[in-house]
A and B are shown apart, each in its own frame.
Chain A
Amino acid sequence: SQTIHQWPATLVQPVGSPLSLECTVEGTSNPNLYWYRQAAGRGLQLLFYSVGIGQISSEVPQNLSASRPQDRQFILSSKKLLLSDSGFYLCAWSVDPWGAYEQYFGPGTRLTVT
């Protein structure tokens, strides 16, 4: 069976500090991978998605970046965090590009920037 891992579960970081969130998927190969951010009480905002190693599509211009160094690893980074970066960060995967309608989400990372 497939499993998706995200860490850390919670994170408190000062403004201006760097960020690295990691997501890994087990039990499948060549998945589509996604990073979302959810502000409190709001919907999910798609940040990045990837259809393969080294292929990243950015949806929202901001101070975040993403990388996919391995088939089942997706990393979200920032060089300098802003207060507005606080939120619930969710990684997700789908079976293939055309299966994006059915995504499986990780447990998420709750980030507070102080």
Chain B
Amino acid sequence: GQSLEQPSEVTAVEGAIVQINCTYQTSGFYGLSWYQQHDGGAPTFLSYNALDGLEETGRFSSFLSRSDSYGYLLLQELQMKDSASYFCAVQTGGGNKLTFGTGTQLKVEL
């Protein structure tokens, strides 16, 4: 089976940088995805890493180390609207499916 670990909650101030870590144990690993979910809403895709290294998309970056079974999501220039839950998810099952972590609730304060 698969298991993923993320911190349950992170708090940061507006304008700061925050890193959300994710460690995983799985077989048949294809890649690591990140999703954002605001309260009461549906998850939205943020980023994906299949290879080691850093992927940058605007204020968000994601990193993967396959040898360490570890990744992180980096959010820069935090804004109040970034307050949400962030989920890492491993792609497995021949690439057919995602297994999600339990999520990290990010609170951005003034």
* Most chain B Cβ neighbours within 10 Å, of A43, A57, A103: A43
**With the chains together, A32 CA to B96 CA distance in Å?**
8
B96 touches A97 (CB 8 A): yes
What residues on A are CB-neighbors of B30 within 8 Å? 101
Contact between A101 and B96, CB atoms less than 8 A apart: no
What are the interface flags for A1-44 relative to B under an 8 Å C-beta threshold, 1 for contact and 0 otherwise?
Answer: 00000000000000000000000000000001010100000111
A102 touching B42 in the complex, CB below 8 Å, given contacts A43-B87, A97-B95? no
Determine the chain B residues whose CB is within 8 A of the CB of A101 once the complex forms.
30-31, 33, 48, 50, 89, 91, 95, 98
Contact of A100 among B43, B87, B91 (CB under 8 A): B91
Is A56 in the interface zone, CB < 8 Å from B?
Answer: no
B45: which of A34, A103, A107 is its contact (CB, 8 Å)? A103
Q: Total A-B residue pairs with C-beta atoms closer than 8 Å?
A: 62
Which B residues are in CB contact (< 8 Å) with A105? Answer: 42-44
Which chain B residue shows the least CB distance to A49?
A: B97
Query: Number of B interface residues, CB 8 Å?
Result: 24
In the complex, which residues of chain A have a beta carbon less than 8 angstroms from the beta carbon of B89?
Answer: 44, 101
Q: How long is the Cα–Cα vector from A103 to B41 in the complex, in angstroms?
A: 15
A106 close to B (CB within 8 Å): yes
Contact A103 B42 (CB under 8 A): no
Q: List the B side residues contacting A106 at CB < 8 Å.
A: 42
B100 an interface residue at 8 Å Cβ cutoff? yes
* A42 pairs with B103, CB closer than 8 A: yes
Q: Which of B60-110 contact A (CB under 8 A)?
A: 87, 89, 91, 93-103
B99 and A46 contacting across the interface, CB-CB below 8 Å: yes
Binding site for A on B (CB under 8 A): 30-31, 33, 41-45, 48, 50, 87, 89, 91, 93-103
Interface of A with B (CB < 8 Å)? 32, 34, 36, 42-46, 49, 51, 57, 59, 90, 97-98, 100-108
